[in-house]
Amino acid sequence: MANLLHLNLRSVFIPSLSTRRHSSAAPRRHQFRVEAKVREIFMPALSSTMTEGKVVSWLKSEGDQVAKGESVVVVESDKADMEVESFHDGIMAAILVLEGDSAAVGSTIALLAESESDIALAKAQASGSGSSGSDQKTEAVTAPVAELEPVSAPLLVAAVAASVSSPVVKVASTHPASEGGKRVVATPFAKKLAKEFNVDLGRVVGSGPMGRIVAKDVELAASSAAVSEKPKVAAVAAASTVQLGSVVPFTTMQGAVSKNMLVSLSVPTFRVGYTMTTDALDALYKKIKSKGVTMTALLAKATAMALTQHPVVNSSCRDGKSFTYNSSINIAVAVAMDGGLITPVLQDADKLDIYTLSRKWKELVDKARAKQLQPQEYTTGTFTLSNLGMFGVDRFDAILPPGTGAIMAVGSSRPTVVGTKDGRIGMKNQMQVNVTADHRVIYGADLAAFLQTFAQIIEDPKDLTF
């Protein structure tokens, strides 16, 4: 669901002189309404945990026309960068919060004038923004109206991720968003790709709404320019220059993670481990890897299949008084990012085939690392996977995310000497998983039964490809 951002239309009502001369009992026929046609753009709440946001970039400059449906600003929430799209026409009159600066949710970050004649009014209001907006006295002549009550005129703005597809609009060689080459308008993801591909956005023709440059435009330009090297996401653990002994404030994402971890400590949890053989799973992965299937998708699919038989492990307790058997199986998977952690969600993982699930996972990871996930793409998980096996970690415990019932920590698959049922010694690939669960809802027997089912699917994975 798109988050809504409200912009106020400030109106001051002044009665006419003729109205003032009459007694209160006399009919008031010609009351004038004086409106200051300046709208305040507020910092939106893009998630339930967001208390402040940072302006990543303004897509409109002061004096620019703003069309209905056009994005005006990119805001960084605690998990993603999101565009704020206007539902109304106007002129960007004053920007109060500069790029890189933060503001509390609900505070004014810019002023939108309805017409050019209202720009000076907005400028005056911006210069006095230190005082309460309700104290601003403005005047403008309007037609007489018969109504006596103030007319509310809220302006809605929807926050939408830059990566959401829009109807393609074919444009000429000079796209309107570039304003004759003075400024290039592109989605944050497109800018990121342009930097990685070393593509000059000034030479790219946008195919998005109002000529905005989108990711596929950059990819096309990179291809035509024979850029052969694909962009690579830097590893989170890559060496970087740091000043030893320095105190570094949390980023927005780190602050959100910190708050969630403190909430998690209030939940009584317990842990259960299980070791399983992965020879059959490894063989299946090797067989279908070339088709785009990832190990993460295989694990998510196996988890979802097991959860269909153990719904209590997919349940959640939020108020400490009741719990919910979730109607969907949404597998959240932890992804490390530079400066934080996010859990993109594979929704309805039990209903998707492994190939669709793998494609969906790749899309989610790309969007997560570009900070373009929609809130519903990282807040709707019902069960969480954390896989450090890819880094060679053989076992670990994971912290339960707030609002979910369980999280499974997956270790690496390693050759292990084991005893067979006939008393012989053999070599098998085995991995260990540890599940952390909310003990208010899920008990030891529940987890044991779930892990037995999960192990059966891993050790005989033929159903994963159906």
- Tokens 């620019």 found at: 64
Q: What is the pTM of this model?
A: 0.58
Burial class (CB in 10 A: 0-12, 13-18, 19+), 256: buried
Looking at residue 232, its pLDDT comes to 42
pLDDT digits (tens, 9 = 90+) for 180-228: 445 677 777 778 778 777 888 878 887 766 677 877 778 777 766 543 3
Q: Please state, in angstroms and rounded to a whole number, the distance separating the CA atoms of residues 380 and 347.
A: 8
CA distances from 298 to 146, 290, 295, 302, 389 (A): 67, 14, 5, 6, 14
Q: Is the torsion defined by CA of 130, 39, 76, 186 positive or negative?
A: negative
Per-residue confidence (pLDDT) for residue 422, from 0 to 100: 82
For position 39, what pLDDT does the model report? Answer: 78
Radius of gyration in angstroms for the set of CA atoms belonging to the chain, rounded to a whole number: 28
- First CA to last CA across the chain, in angstroms? 31
Centre a 10 Å sphere on the Cβ of residue 4 and count the other Cβ atoms it contains.
Answer: 13
Q: In 291-353, where does DSSP find H-type helix?
A: 295-309
> What is the pLDDT, as a whole number, of residue 47?
67
Which residues make beta-bridge pairs with 30?
A: none
Nearest to 305 by CA among 349, 345, 272, 275: 349
Flag residues of the chain having pLDDT under 70: 1-36, 47-49, 77-80, 87-88, 129-183, 208-210, 223-240, 339
Q: Which of 234, 164, 241 is nearest to 192 (CA)?
A: 234
Catalytic residue among 6, 30, 310, 439: 439
Q: Which residue has the tokens 């969007």?
A: 367
30 is catalytic: no
Tokens of 427: 């070599």
Count of CB atoms within 10 A of residue 415's CB?
10
State residue 292's pLDDT score: 92
Neighbouring CB atoms inside 10 A of 21's CB total: 8
- Tens digits of residue pLDDT in 346-394: 999 999 999 999 999 999 998 888 878 888 899 899 999 999 998 999 9
pLDDT at 38: 77
Amino acid 98: pLDDT: 85
Helix 354-369 to helix 295-309 angle (10° resolution) is 120
Match 């005047």 to its residue by tokens.
139
